Amino acid sequence: MTTSSRTLAEWFEAFDREAFRLETLDDYSQSGGVEAYQAFLAGEPQLESYRSAPWVDTVRNATRAGKRMYRVHVLSRPLTPYLRFELAWGYHRNAEAGEEFFILDTTDQDNPILHAPDFWLFDGQTVGAMNYDGEGKYLGAEFPGADRLPEFLAYRDTALAHAEPFTEWWAKYGE
């Protein structure tokens, strides 16, 4: 793993095989899709602009090219309003474009990856560690050096080993 001259956005075009995401927060409400989140909270239908957001094209283009995009979200129940939105609208929307989702539910078990940051891992080699403020606003990504790659690979592997497919989890706990 190396630091990167590319931005996080550029990595979504540049990765060859897979992009893995670890999500650890209960609220990303200030990081995009704010209008859709407000519509969800108000009980309104899903906005067309949300259903056809550029991210959906990014996922669809990657998966059609044979690349894997997948993520694990570490969470506990009861779900926050934001998580209800993200899982009900966002995960279903992105899954239709080909992204895979897993849930590591810590409601009845200890979190096996305490203190893990949010990150994207591209091709098992490049990490974009995500930074957020306390309100769920995305502040940017950092690209740690090669010495930290084993740490992020361990986070990914441990999260996947303790997670279950989103569709199975949603069938039990979805709203």
> How do the pLDDT tens digits run along the chain, 175 residues long?
345 678 899 999 999 999 999 999 999 998 888 999 999 999 999 999 999 999 999 999 999 999 999 999 999 999 999 999 999 999 999 999 999 999 999 999 999 999 999 999 999 999 999 999 988 899 999 999 889 999 999 999 999 999 999 999 999 999 7
- Report if residue 156 sits inside a domain: yes
State the total domains in the chain.
1
- Report if residue 107 sits inside a domain: yes
Decide the pairing of beta strands 68-75 and 100-105.
parallel
Supply the pLDDT for residue 4: 61
Tokens of 2: 């190396």
Cβ neighbours around 129 below 10 Å, total: 18
Supply the pLDDT for residue 3: 54
User: pTM of the predicted model, to two decimals?
Assistant: 0.94
Show the domain range for 49: 20-114+128-139+147-173
Supply the pLDDT for residue 175: 72
- Report if residue 51 sits inside a domain: yes
- Report if residue 93 sits inside a domain: yes
d(CA 135, CA 138) in angstroms, rounded, equals 9
- Report if residue 10 sits inside a domain: no
The residue written with tokens 């989890």 in the block is 169
d(CA 57, CA 72) in angstroms, rounded, equals 20
- Report if residue 66 sits inside a domain: yes
- Report if residue 13 sits inside a domain: no
| HSE-CB of 90 using CA atoms within 13 angstroms | 19
